[in-house]
Structure 1
Amino acid sequence: MAELSQAEAFARIRLLRSPRIGPVTFAQLLARYGSGEAAVEALPNLAKAGGGHHQLAREDTVRREIEAVKRHGARYLFHDQPDYPRALAECEGAPPVITYRGDLSLASRPVVAMVGARNASAAAVKLAREFAQALSAEGFVVVSGLARGIDGAAHEGAFPKTIGVIASGIEIAYPPQHADLQDRIASEGLLIAEQPPGTEPRGSHFPSRNRIIAGLALGTLVVEAAVKSGSLITARLAGEYGREVMAIPGSPLEARSHGCNHLIREGAVLVQEPADVVELLSSFDGSPRSTFREPVSAFDSVPEDMSEAQPADIASLLTRAPVGVDELIRQSGTSAAAVQLALLELEIAGRLDRHAGGKVSLSSA
């Protein structure tokens, strides 16, 4: 697609920073109205049809964000722009927009994720650094989350062929002791953030960061992790995306190895040396795997003829217990497109919540 106009980019950011507009809703709005500008104009009528009202993000707030992105030497990249990483774009729930600094071409090369414990053992940190260095020498780009422990070692070993994905705004270093490493990655590697500038990292941001890490990579290698480690979330997401999941085994006497051993027991590929990773991923040349998903259905066009169902009809089928959209379509007896628009109107009006697995419920607010 052509470069977005400033007005269109502004409208898209305004939509995304508005309440109740997440990746799925944003995609449906863009598919139905053709542009962010048209979607912004349509929101009041959508909310009215859903029986409520909608408050858009303030224009001055959006303007300050855009200025901050420029001030910090970053750029926006939208899901439907050609340079958006293909592997990530094919993942369900891929961020509609990211901000980045550095060499974006790194994301189009063969990428492997390396993750693991923050409180990693000295042996595991050394191993992670050596693995990353070896994989980088074989032509792989290493992506990780700039956390302490395994993440930091992976970035250092692969530098400069490394991608850092952070859970904060593009200019905020977390943890603070990795500020220099983050700056180096932004200058010579690639730094990616989903959150707006000025956003401090929160617990709820880290699963989203993990989603991006898993989505960018052909496979995810867990070096050392306890059973409750967040790196297992990244591994699970990688499996859901149809990517390889790999783990380095450890002693059953070491709690920090229990997560890796569990992954192997559940079917992850056991890895003992970098050559194992190279062999497993050797068939990949950066092009999408046959197991990659097609672009998510939320981006499909929504037909204009939506007279078959009204928001009130669909709302009457909902409770606060999540239910699958497919089940709603069956119970409503109307077309999928009609149900999707009714759900969109209810969500914009603040009467609908979306849940994992394509489920929806009446809003608990």
Structure 2
Amino acid sequence: MSAPADIVARLRLIRSDKIGPVTYAQLVARFGSAQAALDAIPDLARRGGGRPGKLATAAEVESEITEVTRLGARYLFRDDDAYPALLAEIDSAPPVLIVSGDTALLARPTVAMVGARNASAAACRFARQLARDLGQTGTAIVSGLARGIDTAAHDGAFDTGTVAVIAGGIDIFYPPENEERQRAIGTKGLLIAEQPPGVEPRARHFPYRNRIIAGLAAGTVVIEAAPKSGSLITARHAADYGREVMAIPGSPLDPRAQGCNQLIREGATLVQTAEDVLEAIRPLHLGPARPSRQRQAVAEEPAEAGDSERRAIRDLISPTPVPVDELVRQSGLPAAAVQLVLLELELAGHLARHAGGRVALA
């Protein structure tokens, strides 16, 4: 049996080239539906001075839906009631998640725990105990199912509730030694993937995964991390989202502690116990009210832009990322008109979006 036409159209738009979460939301808000957005993309890209990327076909999406169902997983769209409310608050929230397991965990207060893959034995033991202690208070623990601290955090919270966000498809086991653990979490806990089934995790996928981990949680705890590690990327995402950033201090003689000590110097909360963590996240502990569908869609009044407005906005953009608000201020144009031109440029392949609502020439 075929999937509903709206679901197919939404997945086609999500899986098409050059369509990220922000672009998806703006297209649906402007054109009213995913199908109407798909129909409009060729003209938008032409106005942006390029060609559209490859659009996903209905057959490709139907095949994906069949595989997700076969795997015992399901889709959570951003406007579904079960979609995590904290994650829905961020601009770059995935339009759809593929999940397997107990989605009731998404309604609990949630803490992210991340850290070094080559973590010390003492740090792994500490992470397991901290996750266990937090879990016993009804807090769900989210992490990325990597070696080291992530694995220890999942193990500590396995009996009380853990959420694993993976970088590849929901049927891909990475690292391989965590296959049994991933299968168990997908049954008793909750397994989340942004990528479709069959997608092997690549380096570019891990920062995407990290933003989901930070977005799901009221706060992120970092336990051992090198100064330029993925764990610090997750912590910085959390700070950007207005969430609590916490770190476990370590010896200055251990390189694995340098990232945590650096975070504390920059203002992260020093924590040592579950009570410290709960005190730090208390202002967000119950989570936010669910954003309205209108807010999620980033809806604005439709606006058009003429050639002179397009030239003015293009002249302001360079290879250096700049906030969209700054483009609005310097151009003196309505925000909706600026957003439309940026959308055209992005679909034409001339614009790249960066963290913090910044854009630059691609």
Q: TM-score, normalised by structure 2?
A: 0.91
Q: Deviations over 1:46-72 (max 9, x none)?
A: 223333332312332222222211111
Please show how residues 241-260 of structure 1 align to structure 2 within 5 Å: 241-260=241-260
Q: Which amino acid aligns with 1:115?
A: V
Q: CA deviation at 1:295?
A: 9.2
Aligned to 1:111: 110
Q: CA deviation at 1:106?
A: 0.3
Aligned to 1:141: 140
Q: CA deviation at 1:317?
A: 4.3
- Matched residue SS, 1:44: helix
CA RMSD of aligned residues (A): 2.4
Q: CA deviation at 1:254?
A: 1.5
**Partners in 1 of 2:303 and 2:291 — Cα distance?**
28
**Partners in 2 of 1:313 and 1:359 — Cα distance?**
18
Q: After alignment, is 323-332 or 265-274 more displaced?
A: 323-332
Q: After alignment, is 76-85 or 186-195 more displaced?
A: 76-85
Aligned to 1:21: 19
Aligned to 1:72: 71
Identical-pair percentage? 57
- Matched residue SS, 1:19: coil
CA spacing shift, 1:97–1:120, aligned 2, 3 Å: same
Q: After alignment, is 295-304 or 124-133 more displaced?
A: 295-304
**Partners in 1 of 2:328 and 2:166 — Cα distance?**
38
- Matched residue SS, 2:224: coil
Q: Deviations over 1:295-346 (max 9, x none)?
A: 9978322323425565455335444444433333344343221121122122
Q: CA deviation at 1:284?
A: 4.8
- Matched residue SS, 2:302: coil
- Matched residue SS, 2:359: strand
CA spacing shift, 1:362–1:250, aligned 2, 3 Å: closer
Report if the CA contact (8 A) 1:90-1:294 is conserved: no
Report if the CA contact (8 A) 2:98-2:192 is conserved: yes
Aligned to 1:261: 261
- Matched residue SS, 1:114: strand
Please show how residues 218-233 of structure 1 align to structure 2 within 5 Å: 218-233=218-233
Report if the CA contact (8 A) 2:15-2:56 is conserved: yes
Aligned to 2:40: 42
Aligned to 1:339: 338
Structure 1, unaligned stretches of length 5 or more?
Answer: none
**Partners in 1 of 2:245 and 2:183 — Cα distance?**
29
CA spacing shift, 1:174–1:31, aligned 2, 3 Å: same
**Partners in 2 of 1:223 and 1:129 — Cα distance?**
11
Aligned to 1:90: 89
CA spacing shift, 1:361–1:263, aligned 2, 3 Å: closer
**Partners in 2 of 1:127 and 1:59 — Cα distance?**
48
**Partners in 2 of 1:318 and 1:210 — Cα distance?**
28
Q: CA deviation at 1:101?
A: 0.4
Q: Which amino acid aligns with 1:222?
A: V
Aligned to 1:277: 277
Q: Deviations over 1:10-48 (max 9, x none)?
A: 111111111111111101001011111221122222223
**Partners in 2 of 1:206 and 1:281 — Cα distance?**
25
Q: After alignment, is 326-335 or 182-191 more displaced?
A: 326-335
Aligned to 2:297: 299
Q: Which amino acid aligns with 1:270?
A: L
Q: CA deviation at 1:350?
A: 2.5
CA spacing shift, 1:128–1:20, aligned 2, 3 Å: same
- Matched residue SS, 1:182: helix
Aligned to 1:32: 30
Aligned to 1:53: 51
Q: Which amino acid aligns with 2:81?
A: P
Report if the CA contact (8 A) 2:240-2:356 is conserved: no
**Partners in 2 of 1:244 and 1:197 — Cα distance?**
32
**Partners in 2 of 1:272 and 1:119 — Cα distance?**
21
**Partners in 2 of 1:239 and 1:355 — Cα distance?**
16
CA spacing shift, 1:143–1:52, aligned 2, 3 Å: same
Report if the CA contact (8 A) 1:113-1:220 is conserved: yes
Aligned to 1:199: 199
CA spacing shift, 1:316–1:165, aligned 2, 3 Å: same
**Partners in 2 of 1:325 and 1:279 — Cα distance?**
35
**Partners in 2 of 1:347 and 1:167 — Cα distance?**
24
Q: Count matched residues.
A: 357
**Partners in 1 of 2:278 and 2:320 — Cα distance?**
45
Q: Which amino acid aligns with 2:137?
A: E
Report if the CA contact (8 A) 2:88-2:296 is conserved: no
Q: TM-score, normalised by structure 1?
A: 0.90
- Matched residue SS, 1:174: coil
CA spacing shift, 1:358–1:285, aligned 2, 3 Å: closer
Q: Which amino acid aligns with 2:6?
A: E
Structure 2, unaligned stretches of length 5 or more?
Answer: none
